[in-house]
Amino acid sequence: MKIKFLLTAAGLACAGALGAAPLSVSTAVQSQPDPASPVIAVLAAGSEAPLPSQNGAAAPSGWTAVDVSGPFTGYVKNKDLTKQLDVEAGASIYLAPKEGSGVLAVFAKGDRAVITGLHGGWTQIRLEKTLVGYIATTPALPVAPSEPTAPSAPPSTPMTAPTAPAGALAPMPSGEKLSQLFEGTLAQTKSVFGPRRPFKWQLLDAAGKHIAYVDLSSLLLTDQIENYSGHAVVVLGSLKPVKETGDIVIVVEALHLK
């Protein structure tokens, strides 16, 4: 779903004012000169106002094209990677690992990208590139006051997935799979003299002790897993007991370098 931002143009009354003074409000930079287009960056209030783009990008009335420096976090489909795990030229880089999330950029020959995570059929990358974005410069229209209404109930607190620190695992809820975040070092379980383990990978704590096995079968690009071995990682997944043992395994849904 496209992210929509209501832009306030205080401090951005006209294109010529950009770069003249710090931004007075947080300002969204959008991929296209369209209020419904995806937001590629948010400039914090008090930060330096960007200068108009030097890349020759044109903008319709009420918008200003600006250059936004990376790095950016984006996602590409696994099919858009070469056998050398490079992003193919012309591949769309999405804002989230799902269709319809909006396109951040189109990868061009010479662009630099580093793989930073796996999400099933998607690969997370860090894109080192300067992008052209658009800032609304038309002042927002005043909103007519509405009829008074009865006070609404206070909003409920949103639920978030609990985070388990390295070396600690939350208890498994009965009858449901709850996705959680876990931190640790990814390592192989294979040992020349040790017994055969039920899973090839495991998560270790800071002292090198076993936290849990890691089931990576849901990640399609398993040939990339070797690049994560021995590194601190953050994994999103659900816990499940290992059959006929007292151990547990994390069924991984996503994997990131810490």
For residue 106, what pLDDT is reported?
Answer: 93
Query: Using alpha carbons only, what angle is made at residue 124 by residues 162 and 32, rounded to the nearest 5 degrees?
Result: 105
> What 3-state DSSP class applies to 79?
helix
Query: CA 84, 88, 94, 98: dihedral to nearest 10 degrees?
Result: -60
How does residue 1 score in pLDDT terms, banded at 50, 70 and 90? very low
Q: Which of 70-74, 89-93, 125-129, 148-152 has the lowest mean pLDDT?
A: 148-152
- The segment with the largest mean pLDDT, out of 49-63, 81-95, 180-194, is 81-95
Domains located in the chain, CATH noted: 1-141 (no CATH), 164-257 (2.40.50.500)
pLDDT at 202 over 60: yes
Residues 6+ apart with CB under 8 A from 220: 78, 118, 120, 121
pLDDT at 162 over 80: no
Q: Which of 4-8, 61-65, 73-77, 239-243 has the lowest mean pLDDT?
A: 4-8
Detail the DSSP E strand segments found in 82-172.
92-94, 103-106, 112-119, 122-128, 130-136, 163-164
Closest listed residue to residue 66, CA positions, set 13, 125, 137 = 137
Tell if the pTM clears 0.85, that is, is over it: no
Dig out the tokens for 140 from the structure: 């927002």
Closest listed residue to residue 133, CA positions, set 72, 56, 53, 17 = 53
Tens of pLDDT along 10-37?
334 433 444 456 877 788 888 888 888 8
pLDDT at 94 over 60: yes
- What proportion of the chain, given as a percentage, has pLDDT over 70? 71
